[in-house]
Structure 1
Amino acid sequence: MAKLTTPDTQTAPKDRRTSGIQKQGRAAKVVNDVLRSTCEELNNVGYAALRVEDVAEKAGVNKTTIYRRWPTKNELVIDAIRNSYIAEHEFPDSGVLREDLIQYLRIMIRRTKNPMARGAMIALNNSTDPGMKPLADELLGRARRYRTLMVQRGIDRGELPEHTDAELISDLFSAPILRRLLTLGEPVKLSYIDAVVDTVLAGAKANPPKRKRK
């Protein structure tokens, strides 16, 4: 069975607004309910149409309760996405590149079946709001780096040619799945995942894209 790893930076200190998420009590429940409801609304309506009033109603709290912790919609959405996205991101490490890539994509599909996780992913990948860009750059960049590390491990084991561009391979195997899931909203069959991974790996072995010289 593949070992799953998570980014070590996910343990970054929480600020005062979300520091109670892992604790017990009413305050923690309110925070969790609001953050969950925010991601669910992102899944339903997207960032632009999201209204704090609707989040409050879904979470069963007064909107003033939300504004006390999160003065702006942008701050609320950033905390909700950070809480959902970082906690659930996993990166397989089985010792076999093909298995790692397939397992990673299956994890990605499972996450999109959860409205909270899907809302966070859609907002990160599709938002054009400039206020979301720093968070998107941080989290999507982190995911890309870890996908690249998965590929690089395969290169180091000799599963792909030595000078293969690991970052490009990372983009090639993930892009078709993300497009179907988040842009087109189409279901992704397991056979499609296998075909994408096998096609990318076969191309890399036959004509490896070489790393750019720095």
Structure 2
Amino acid sequence: MRQPGRVRLAADARTGKAALYRRWPSKAELVVDTLDHALPAPEDAPDTGSVRDDLVEHMRQKAEVLNSSVGRAVQSLLAEIDRDRPLARLVQERVFQPRENVFQLILERGVQCGEVRSGRLSPPVAELGPAMLVQRFLSDSAPVPDDYLVSVVDELIMPIVRR
């Protein structure tokens, strides 16, 4: 017989269910903290000195998570979010929003060092790489390949920001 979620989680974590309830008052809080912990922190944005390399590395960090068991959990979570508006709001506020500006930050550093033309930087350009990654992740059950990430940066983003 399968155990209920928190009982199974507590057993897997070798702790008691009461400890989980003390730390995470709801399943949504537990899910959000897990996602927050698994995804690269916004302050850990790559800074190699090359905008192109930073963008590729950032895409690789995201793809690594999406291609893992955490990514499969995110797919399940996204299906649940459609039915659970409070969970959607919590995930958006605590997981996605803090990470939305990393691509923008990398591109802005590129403007400062002269690799990116400032007039070419806009929110849609900054959203392009992450959006392409998520679209590929959601539409294909296979892991997102590295050559796809590199091509998004080299064939789409860099030509736009260097013109």
TM-score by length of 2: 0.74
Q: Return the offset for 1:92.
A: 0.9
1:178 aligned partner: 134
Distance 1:190 1:79, change over 3 A: closer
Amino acid at match of 1:108: K
Partner of 1:71: 25
Unaligned 5+ residue runs, structure 1? 1-49, 207-214
Tell me, yes or no, if the aligned pair for 1:177 and 1:188 is still in contact at 8 Å: yes
Cα deviation, residue 192, structure 1: 1.4
- How far the C-alpha of 1:106 sits from its partner, in A, is 1.3
Matched, 1:167 2:123: yes
Contact 2:38 2:65 in 1 (8 A): no
Question: 2:57 matched to 1:103?
Answer: yes
* Structure 2 counterpart of 1:118, from 58, 68, 71: 71
Which of the numbers 140, 160, 163 marks the counterpart of 1:203? 160
What whole-Å deviation, never above 9, does each CA across 1:157-185 have from its counterpart, x for those lacking one? 33232212343222111211122224533
Which stretches in structure 2 are left out of the alignment for 5+ residues? none
Deviations 1:118-165 (A, max 9, x none): 367547766332222134234312212122010111123332322123
Query: Any runs of at least 4 consecutive aligned residues in structure 1 with deviations exceeding 6 A, and if so which?
Result: none
What is the CA–CA distance in structure 2 between the aligned matches of 1:66 and 1:178, rounded to whole Å? 31
Identify if the C-alpha distance between structure 1 residues 69 and 137 changes in structure 2 by more than 3 Å, giving closer, same or farther.
closer
Distance in structure 2 (CA, Å) of the matches to 1:91 and 1:153: 11
- Aligned amino acid, residue 52 of structure 2: R
Q: Offset at 1:74?
A: 1.9
Distance 2:146 2:36 in 1: 28
SS in 1 for 2:116: coil
Percent identical among aligned pairs is 25
Equivalent residues of 1:85, 1:121 under 8 A apart:
no
Distance in 1 between the 2:77 and 2:97 partners?
A: 11
**Number of equivalenced pairs:** 156
How much is the aligned-residue C-alpha RMSD, in angstroms?
3.0
Cα pair 2:32 2:95 within 8 Å, conserved:
no
Q: Which has the higher contact order (CA 8 A, sep 6+)?
A: 2
- CA deviations 1:34-60 (Å, max 9, x no partner) are xxxxxxxxxxxxxxxx83233234334
In structure 2, distance between residues paired with 1:141 and 1:95: 25
Residues 105 and 177 in structure 1, CA contact (< 8 A), matched pair in contact too: yes
Task: Answer 1 or 2: which has greater helix percent.
Answer: 2
Counterpart of 1:192, as a letter, is Y
- Contact persistence 2:42–2:99 (CA under 8 A): no
TM-score, normalising length: structure 1: 0.59
Give runs of aligned pairs for residues 19-38 of structure 1, distance below 5 A.
none
